[in-house]
Amino acid sequence: MESNKHRFSLRENVRLRLLKDMLSGLKINFPDVPNFILVVDTLTTRIVSSCAKMIELLEEGVVALERLDVTRKAFPRMHAIYFITPTESSIGSLIKDFSNPKEPQYGNIHLFFSNHVDNALLDKMSKQRLLSERVATFKEINIDFLCPDSNLFHFDMPDALPVIFSKPDLPPSKKMEEAIAYKLSTIIPTLFDYEKFHIIYNKNAANPVSERVAKILKERVNRFIELKKKQDEDVNDEPPAPIKIVVLDRSFDPLTPILHDYSYQSMVTEFLELKGDMVEYETEDASGKKIKNTATLSDEDDLWAKYKHEFIGHAVMNVSREFEEFVANNKSSQVGSMDMSQLDLKTMSDIIKKMPMYKELMAKYTLHMNLLEQCKQV
Amino acid sequence: MEQCLATGIDGKGSDITNSKLIAMIATKLAGNSSKIDRNVKLRLLMIASIALELQERDRKALVQSLSEEDKELLTKLFWLGVDPAKFAAKKGKPNKKLEEASSAARERLRINISANLCRYTPIIEGIANNIITSDKLDAESYGSLYIPNNYDGSLGQKGRVMAATSSIKKGGKIGGGASDDRLQPKIIFFIIGGMSGAEMRVMSEYAKNNQQFNVIAGSTAIMKSSDYIAGISKMFTKAQYDEAKMKN
């Protein structure tokens, strides 16, 4: 395995930007502040939780992660970081936190927005004196996408399909195209190094969706390049490699999404209950009763990582083969062959040390055999 | 059967004519029609409408068993460029996308017989491969924007040199990815209107086969076939659109 080799990962870059650009940056600028509260809204919760662990946040001085949309305990002396989307509702909640002069929610605040804040909302915030006098940091951090896999991103906008394609030139569709281009552009600062771009779009004479999105995207990318030039005292002598962005609208291929795909991952998403990366599946216990189980499917599970894109038939074959190998190897060399009559403390502790790993591995094999079996039945 | 419809060839790699395919669907729908799940029926007819360029007469015959609501849903495919009227006008001219699909499917079958269930190749795979093999994309179908304006879009030789040879560490700078990343060209694929499981798989295989690039794939949403159908059913009908346009 090439696990040691560095592999580019967008999700890892998001993690770096959250932990380093946002949190470590604050620690440098405010060395006297020991702790922060991090406030997030519905979307940014998902961004944070998809790529950073609570312990990592803790290491950067975040002692609590709070939801913007619920009533929270006030800490009028604490510093709070708001990592939120620049929407009416989130900024409305932010203003509400500081509407009562006698009971401000927090002391100083550090605002980080997931995307560009438009002037109307900026105005709205600056008019609130109680809020604006507390703002110690204001930054558009520009991370506005979800990263379920290391190099896969999406915006969780299922309405884009009906709105953009069946309402061309109507206001909701125009607004959504702009939102999509703005969100897409936040991938760029997350790449860290960029200079040259080639944006490709598919031509659709009836409704040039991707062309419009590509043009807005180009403006945004230019903006990021300008900003970068201002702050960069880059010492690298070699310019960064070019970036191609291919923007396609669904009309380029309306067929593929209807067809069933027979890879392991596609079958699981299609036929089993999947919430985030939690999957629900049924097993039978000894008495033949059906029980519901849940399991997490992520790339940390090496079987899943290895076989999720394989044709279901191959996945079944490979997982059972690996399982057999595993059993065979361990029968001869490990627990199975140990002479239990001469059990001393050392062998005992050896066995115990190995047990949890076995248990976990065994459980993993059974999980995948179960899932594959259920997919095959459909 | 789905795979036959989408690729126009059978499990052994031989062509199947449209009339045969239409007959196949008709039999499938006629045989205890009430027992077939609504979604199965709908999916089958959607695939047929997109892949087969049905003549009006055949289309009418096939959709008979659908509810009014589902018939209406089929017409909404028009928004995604599926237009029966255009098919009728073209008469006999072969469908380019479909031809490509057949030849790709034949190739898959040749390499691997168990590909029977996955003969069909999502179109994005062809686009992705073209981007690397030929610097010029078909200008009739694709447009380009460049930053800076005088950049010609070439990926240069950098992509072919292993980036690890030159690694200048960014001492003390906050943020910044691994410095090797900066010298690897990146290709981002983005689909407006949802990405399917098959496309996610294709993108991941593509990334694995082209490690001289960093490949990133994204979409407005990740969807399964039922999400896609739900999205299409939420679309305006032409009449609804015209009305909204008038008011605007």
**A78, HSE (Cβ side, Cα atoms, 13 Å):** 17
Percent of chain B with pLDDT over 90: 17
Chain A residue with minimum CA distance to B41: A258
Contacts of B227 in chain A (CB under 8 A): 158
Model confidence at A107, pLDDT cuts 50, 70, 90, reads very high
Smallest Cβ–Cβ distance between A270 and the set B179, B195, B197 belongs to B197
SS3 A164: helix
Model confidence at B47, pLDDT cuts 50, 70, 90, reads confident
DSSP element (H, E) containing B147: strand B142-147
Contacts of A279 in chain B (CB under 8 A): none
Nearest CA distance, B133 vs chain A (angstrom):
14
| pTM of the full structure | 0.81
**If you ran DSSP here, which 8-state letter would residue B37 be given?**
-
Strands B142-147 and A197-202: antiparallel
In chain A, CATH 3.40.50.2060 covers 10-140
Instruction: Name the burial class of residue B212, with classes exposed (0-12), middle (13-18) and buried (19+) by CB atoms within 10 angstroms of its CB.
Output: middle
- Higher-confidence residue of A302 and A139: namely A139
Handedness of CA A315, A320, A321, A323 (dihedral sign): positive
Q: What integer pLDDT is reported at residue B95 of this predicted model?
A: 57
Nearest CA distance, B37 vs chain A (angstrom):
14
Nearest CA distance, A39 vs chain B (angstrom):
22
The answer to whether the CB atoms of B168 and A165 lie below 8 A apart is no
Cis previous bond, A34, omega within 30? no
Percent of chain A with pLDDT over 90: 52
- Higher-confidence residue of A143 and A339: namely A143
The answer to whether the CB atoms of A256 and B122 lie below 8 A apart is yes
Q: What integer pLDDT is reported at residue A351 of this predicted model?
A: 56
Residue A13 has pLDDT above 90, yes or no: yes
Residue A162 has pLDDT above 90, yes or no: yes
The arithmetic mean of pLDDT across residues A33-43, rounded, is: 94
The answer to whether the CB atoms of B159 and A241 lie below 8 A apart is yes
Handedness of CA B190, B191, B195, B200 (dihedral sign): negative
Chain B residue with minimum CA distance to A150: B216
- In angstroms, the CA A283 to CA A372 distance is 12
Q: For an interface test with A, which of B87, B97, B190, B215 has the most A Cβ atoms less than 10 Å from its Cβ?
A: B190
Q: What integer pLDDT is reported at residue A133 of this predicted model?
A: 92
Backbone angles phi, psi at A227, to 5 degrees: -60, -40
Smallest Cβ–Cβ distance between A157 and the set B182, B221, B245 belongs to B221
Smallest Cβ–Cβ distance between B153 and the set A198, A238, A253 belongs to A198
Model confidence at A111, pLDDT cuts 50, 70, 90, reads very high
Q: What integer pLDDT is reported at residue A145 of this predicted model?
A: 96
Q: For an interface test with A, which of B169, B205, B220, B227 has the most A Cβ atoms less than 10 Å from its Cβ?
A: B220
Smallest Cβ–Cβ distance between A261 and the set B97, B123, B201 belongs to B201
Strands A290-296 and A278-284: antiparallel
Class of the CATH domain delimited by B122-154+185-248: alpha beta
- Higher-confidence residue of B197 and B6: namely B197
Residue B127 has pLDDT above 70, yes or no: yes
The arithmetic mean of pLDDT across residues A148-158, rounded, is: 93
Percent of chain B with pLDDT over 70: 66
Quote the tokens at residue A214.
């590509």
Chain A residue with minimum CA distance to B122: A256
The arithmetic mean of pLDDT across residues B16-30, rounded, is: 74
- Higher-confidence residue of B167 and A154: namely A154
Residue A170 has pLDDT above 80, yes or no: yes
Model confidence at B96, pLDDT cuts 50, 70, 90, reads low
State which amino acid sits at residue A113.
F
Q: What integer pLDDT is reported at residue B71 of this predicted model?
A: 83
- In angstroms, the CA A200 to CA B125 distance is 15
The answer to whether the CB atoms of A258 and B50 lie below 8 A apart is yes
Q: What integer pLDDT is reported at residue B169 of this predicted model?
A: 37
- In angstroms, the CA A16 to CA A75 distance is 28
Contacts of A154 in chain B (CB under 8 A): 195, 218-222
CA A70 to chain CA centroid, Å, is 22
- In angstroms, the CA B50 to CA B98 distance is 10
Residue A365 has pLDDT above 60, yes or no: yes
- In angstroms, the CA A265 to CA A311 distance is 9
Return all residues near B26 (Cβ < 8 A) that are at least 6 apart. Answer: B61, B62
Residue A1 has pLDDT above 50, yes or no: no
Q: Which CATH number fits domain A264-377: 3.30.465.10, 3.50.50.60, 3.90.830.10, 3.40.50.2030?
A: 3.90.830.10
Residue B78 has pLDDT above 90, yes or no: no
The answer to whether the CB atoms of A311 and B114 lie below 8 A apart is yes
- In angstroms, the CA A136 to CA A25 distance is 13
In chain A, CATH 3.90.830.10 covers 264-377
Q: Which CATH number fits domain A10-140: 3.30.950.10, 3.40.50.2060, 3.40.190.10, 3.40.1260.10?
A: 3.40.50.2060
Of A107-116, A138-147, A348-357, B200-209, where does mean pLDDT reach its minimum?
Answer: A348-357
Return all residues near B147 (Cβ < 8 A) that are at least 6 apart. Answer: A196, A197, A199, A218, A221, A222, A225
Backbone angles phi, psi at A111, to 5 degrees: -100, 125
The answer to whether the CB atoms of A246 and B188 lie below 8 A apart is yes
Nearest CA distance, B71 vs chain A (angstrom):
16
Domains of chain B, by residue range, sit at 2-90, 122-154+185-248
Chain A residue with minimum CA distance to B147: A197
The answer to whether the CB atoms of B244 and A240 lie below 8 A apart is no
Smallest Cβ–Cβ distance between B199 and the set A169, A256, A313 belongs to A256
- Higher-confidence residue of B35 and B41: namely B41
The answer to whether the CB atoms of A165 and B193 lie below 8 A apart is yes
Strands B186-192 and A36-40: unpaired
The answer to whether the CB atoms of A166 and B176 lie below 8 A apart is no
Q: Output the average pLDDT for chain B.
A: 74
Could you tell me if A130 and A160 are in contact, meaning their C-beta atoms sit under 8 angstroms apart? no
Smallest Cβ–Cβ distance between B194 and the set A210, A250, A263 belongs to A250
What are the beta bridge partners of residue B143?
A: A201
Q: What integer pLDDT is reported at residue A258 of this predicted model?
A: 86
Smallest Cβ–Cβ distance between A252 and the set B82, B123, B148 belongs to B123
The answer to whether the CB atoms of A166 and B216 lie below 8 A apart is no
The answer to whether the CB atoms of A269 and B224 lie below 8 A apart is yes
The arithmetic mean of pLDDT across residues B141-159, rounded, is: 79
Nearest CA distance, B79 vs chain A (angstrom):
6
Contacts of B8 in chain A (CB under 8 A): none
State which amino acid sits at residue A136.
A
Nearest CA distance, A281 vs chain B (angstrom):
18
Contacts of A201 in chain B (CB under 8 A): 142-145
